[in-house]
Amino acid sequence: MAAKLISTGFRLTTLPENYVRPLSDRPRLSEVSQLEDFPLIDISATDRPRLVQQIHQACARFGFFQVINHGVSKATIDEMVTVAHEFFGMPMDEKMKLYSDDPTKTPRLSTSFNVKEEEVNNWRDYLRLHCYPIDKYVHEWPSNPSSFKEVVSKYSREIRELGFKIEELISESLGLEKDYMKKVLGEQGQHMAVNYYPPCPEPELTYGLPAHTDPNALTILLQDATVCGLQILIDGHWFAVNPRPDAFVINIGDQLQALSNGVYKSVWHRAVTNTENPRLSIASFMCPDNGAVISPAKPLWEAKEEEAKPVYRDYTYAEYYKKFWSRNLDQEHCLENFLND
Ligand SMILES: O=C(O)CCC(=O)C(=O)O
């Protein structure tokens, strides 16, 4: 059966067969633990060396952290969440005008992950947008709800500022120049995935999104303030990252793992579903320029012992992105394809 939008408002009592995972690949929700020491970083802190140290520890240990006092206003966040709910609540006919299962098309409203490549579908609908430069893309964004373009423009601008702030901190935390990432990543693109996970009749049998790493540089995730679903893999064990309404969840993408020569990790994560409540999450992806050449930062390996060498070969982001989308999500870490011999 071909996957189709599931944000219908209609509740099923059993999970359609095309969403059912084989026994060996199910979320095993009872085995998931709470992550007690998940880093929470106040990025307005004035003690820069301490802040940089906190970022270093979080990126090296977890590849994930939460930030508070991040500079994105509460009004901007609330409006974004409201408009996203309004979007997914629209009648099916209206939503289908934007539907596509072609992963190269934006904007697109789609379902699951990559329905053309995958064998089992995921319990998620999503709207994918390009957000930078806004003037280039805003005309193609949805016109309904009527406030969509204005609200998403404001949100994207504020998120971009936050992204640059964090990239500076990450550069410094690796002992690099403050603007190292900004220079290497070129004129960064910005993409958004508005994820909507309707209540699922059998959450133990499927995923909202199966385990994956992010192909971009940095991800800034706004989690649903009340509904849990994000989980990350640490030392072979799944942990829940429970929402904190005033925080964004930040994670290192594959490109920052490569640039850091593997010191920082682009960590596997997944989204699971529940029977009771729909869950919304809004992921903003900071993406290198297509032509940006990604290579492990020289100062991180050149001056080290004789044998030290870059873990990854040089490649362009365009090459990486193409490879990423030609695969199914739950294959090997995509960076494995770019290791140095
Ligand atoms: O919904 C979530 O919490 C995770 C979303 C995510 O990993 C993604 O959009 O790539």
Position in ligand 1 atom list of the atom nearest CA 214? 10
Q: Which atom from ligand 1 is nearest to the alpha carbon of 126?
A: 9
pTM of the shown model = 0.96
* Residue position matching structure tokens 């030392």: 235
Residue 298's CATH number: 2.60.120.330
* CB of residue 334 inside a 6 A radius of ligand 1: no
Cβ–ligand 1 contact at 271 (below 6 Å): yes
Q: Which H or E element spans position 48?
A: helix 48-61
Which two tokens mark 280? Answer: 């919304």
Number of domain units in the chain:
1
Report the pLDDT averaged over residues 34-46. Answer: 94
Q: For position 1, what pLDDT does the model report?
A: 47
Ligand 1 lined by 211 (C-beta under 6 Å): no
Across residues 76-81, what is the average pLDDT?
98
SS3 of 197, please? strand
Residues 49-64: pLDDT tens digits? Answer: 999 999 999 999 999 9
Domain that holds residue 177: 2-338
Residue 312 above 60 pLDDT? yes
Three-class SS state of 45: coil
In order, the DSSP letters of 119-177 are: SS--S-EEEEEE-SSHHHHGGGS---STTHHHHHHHHHHHHHHHHHHHHHHHHHHTTS-
Q: Vertex 256, ends 255 and 258: CA angle to 5°?
A: 65
When the pLDDT of each residue in the chain is averaged and rounded to a whole number, the result is: 95
CA-based angle 61:62:66, to the nearest 5?
125
Distance 86 CA to ligand 1 centre (A): 20
Q: Is the dihedral of CA 126, 130, 132, 133 positive or negative?
A: negative
**What tens digit of pLDDT does each residue of 281-293 get?**
999 999 999 999 9
Model pLDDT, residue 2:
57
